[in-house]
Structure 1
Amino acid sequence: MLLSLFLSLFVSSVTAAGKDAALPKLDDKEAVESFINSAEVVVIGFLEGEDSHGYAELVEAIKRSETVPAAVCTVKEVWPDYSVSSESITLFRKADNHQENLLLSEAKKVEADGLLKFINTNEIRYITEYNQVTAVGLFNSEVATHLLLFANRGSKEFTELKERLAALAPEFTGKFLFVLINGAVKANIKSLSYFGLQSKDLPRVGIYDGGSDMKWLLPEGEISTERVREFCQSFLRGELKEVTQAGEKPKTEL
């Protein structure tokens, strides 16, 4: 009898722990803030409970995402602090201080595949690798200016440069999105040629301003933290407007 009771309690505790491990519960605003600040990108399900439509789908999507942590907040008194008035699956990202809400009441159909696409599309990090999926989030961001690192994956400097610029990016939160463009991918050839570059010219750093549709390249040389920081600052000071745009052919006098 005692053995059966012990096994029953053990199985119940494991099941409960499994649920909690899938989506940690955030019981107050302090816990929500702590979770938001725990990673570059996080997802929070503002849901009434584990039986809510979207909970199981979010658990499955997060298992498949692997890189984005998620939690659930069932305390409705906390929701208005994040402009949430009804059940929502919300993504928070630090790169541009952005919050993206997926209101479940407006979603025609909630599936794990759709939630995974929602997460991947909006997963902008301090340095985001450009591809067809991330392009949507990048160009939908209110931050229209991109600091671009053109580098060939597999080259000796690729990882070091990516980490160096990722460390610099927080200084320019809300001003630039830092974007990595892999020159070794054929799909990115157009992006390189737009800046007058070829794969053999890399690594290089550029700035694209979506507001003015203008672009510039950091002059050739070492891609140091100091040079890239000054390059960004020169744009913010308005000094690049007088600099020849990248990819422009010099005019020939008649």
Structure 2
Amino acid sequence: MGTSVFPCLFVILLTRCSPAECAGGSDSASHSTASATDKPILLNNIPDAEAFVSGAEVAVIGFFQSRYLEISVSFYLNSTEFKRLHSSEPDRRLLPCSPSCQEHEAAASRISDIQCLKHGGAAFEQYMKTFGPLSAWPLTLPPLPPQDPQSPEADQFRLAAGQIPEVPFGLSSSAAVLSHYGASENTVALFRTVHSDRRDLDMNNREVDAKKLTHFVRINELRLVTEYNPVTAIGVMQSSLQFNLLLITDKMSPKHPERMRKFRVAAELYKGKILFILLDSNLKSNERVLSYFQLKKSQLPALAIFHTPDDEHEVLTVGDISIERVQDFCNRFLQRMTKKEDKSEEKPLNEEL
């Protein structure tokens, strides 16, 4: 059994091009043109979040902690009602109000000695132990405007968003949105339409900064058609899709835009089943890939399809790309692999008989 195709391509590319050099070589035909100065979109409810995710091939949401509950609870703990119910004034144990809370002091009827809870502070935990869960408190949360998360992790998230303008970034501190996606606070989720799945990154690790977050997105941003390079190669190798179709062509060709249009239409037909990949033959770093498939530039464009678990693959040289030709090539290969699997299942049965 030969070496798997993608690990071979990954090694070939790494010997000729560094990830930093190739990261900027993504195919512009599959990217949006968002401005680098655009701030992440604040997603305050489930419909907004779902529309945000479904509206892009790749979308990133940062789930971060909101101060809404903390500030609201602090209002109550410092209220006349609370002091009347708990004359011992245990709220004196609260930590001093942080600068980010001070703008809300006026809303607390200017009660003396206003104090706020810090994120996850021991004081808040102590109140929970002493007076029971919030549901047991006679607490009415004041209406506050949607909160734009403010934390070191959220700041790193915004920096990363500015470095990847073609990928939409959203922020949410809504408890309903976090629950809807089963996400934890300080988690970054990357949603991929082509896989109908997502990849999560835990931002609680202090070593995760904007640079590592950017690398995480670049590795995992598999699109309807993904351009292959040392950075995207990692995500391609980790893909759950077992069938991959490679279009080997010259991006500098005047026919490239039309070829990509047809290739993308075909990719829609096999979404969730075959991963469609573009490899630019015009790059010197990809010459050894052509050699691997025993192709010459005069034979391009060409299609290469393979089944990653067993390295079964087939190459087709075509005069030009058409949707029908791509479909026929994919269907024939899928039928061939289905027959192969059926035979492998029949063999053990015959041996038992």
TM range (shorter): 0.7 to 0.9
Structure 2 matches for 1:18-29, cutoff 5 A? Answer: 22-29=39-46
Deviation at 1:241, TM superposition (A): 7.1
Map 1:24-39 to 2 at 5 A.
24-39=41-56
In structure 2, what is the Cα distance between the partners aligned to 1:53 and 1:116? 16
In structure 2, give the amino acid aligned to 1:43.
V
Q: Does 1:65 align with 2:164?
A: yes
Name which of 44, 57, 65 aligns with 1:48: 65
Partner of 2:195: 96
Aligned length: 222
2:318 corresponds to 1:201 = no
Aligned to 2:59, the other structure's residue is in SS state: strand
**1:163 equivalenced with 2:261 (yes/no):** yes
Asked if structure 2 preserves the Cα contact closer than 8 Å seen for 1:48 and 1:76, the reply is: no
Give me the whole-angstrom Cα distance separating, in 1, the residues matched to 2:183 and 2:334: 34
Pairwise CA distance, 1:133: 0.5
- Please state how far the C-alpha of 1:170 moved relative to its aligned partner: 1.9
CA RMSD of aligned residues (A): 2.0
TM-score (normalizing by structure 1): 0.81
Partner of 1:80: 179
Larger radius of gyration, structure 1 or 2? 2
Distance between the aligned counterparts of 1:90 and 1:144, measured in 2? 23
Offset at 1:240?
8.7
Where structure 2 has 5 or more consecutive residues not aligned to the other structure, the ranges are 1-37, 67-148, 341-353
Give the secondary structure class of the aligned counterpart of 2:231.
helix
Query: Aligned equivalents of 1:215 and 1:186: distance in 2?
Result: 24
Partner of 1:151: 249
Amino acid at match of 2:245: L
Q: Secondary structure at the match of 2:189?
A: strand
- Structure number with the bigger relative contact order (C-alpha 8 A, sep ≥ 6) is 2
Give the Å deviation of 1:184. 1.3
> Residue 228 of structure 1: CA displacement?
0.3
Amino acid at match of 1:127: V
Paired with 2:315 and 2:271, the residues of 1 have a C-alpha distance of 21
Name 1:186's counterpart in structure 2.
284
Aligned-residue offset at 1:114: 1.2
Deviation at 1:219, TM superposition (A): 5.0
Q: Distance in 1 between matches of 2:160 and 2:54?
A: 21
Asked whether 1:224 is paired with 2:322, we answer yes
Q: TM-score, normalised by structure 2?
A: 0.59
Is it true that 1:129 corresponds to 2:227 in the alignment?
Answer: yes
Residue number among 239, 257, 270 corresponding to 1:172 in the alignment = 270
| Inter-CA distance 194–83: structure 2 relative to 1 (3 Å threshold) | farther
Q: Cα distance 1:241–1:200, how it changes in 2: closer, same or farther (>3 A)?
A: farther
Amino acid at match of 2:176: E
Shift of 1:100: 0.5
Residue by residue, what CA displacement relative to the aligned partner does 1:196-237 show, whole Å, maximum 9, x if unpaired? 112232111110221121111235344210110121122222
Specify the alignment match of 1:247 in structure 2. Answer: none
CA contact (8 A) 1:40 1:95 kept: yes
Question: How big is the shift at 1:145?
Answer: 1.6
Letter paired with 1:196: Q
Percent pairwise identity: 32
**Shift of residue 73, structure 1, vs aligned partner:** 1.3
Match of 1:118 in 2: 216
Aligned counterpart in structure 2 of residue 212 of structure 1, from 294, 310, 327: 310
Whether contact under 8 Å (1:234, 1:240) holds in the other structure is no
Q: SS at 1:71's partner residue? A: strand
Partner of 1:4: none
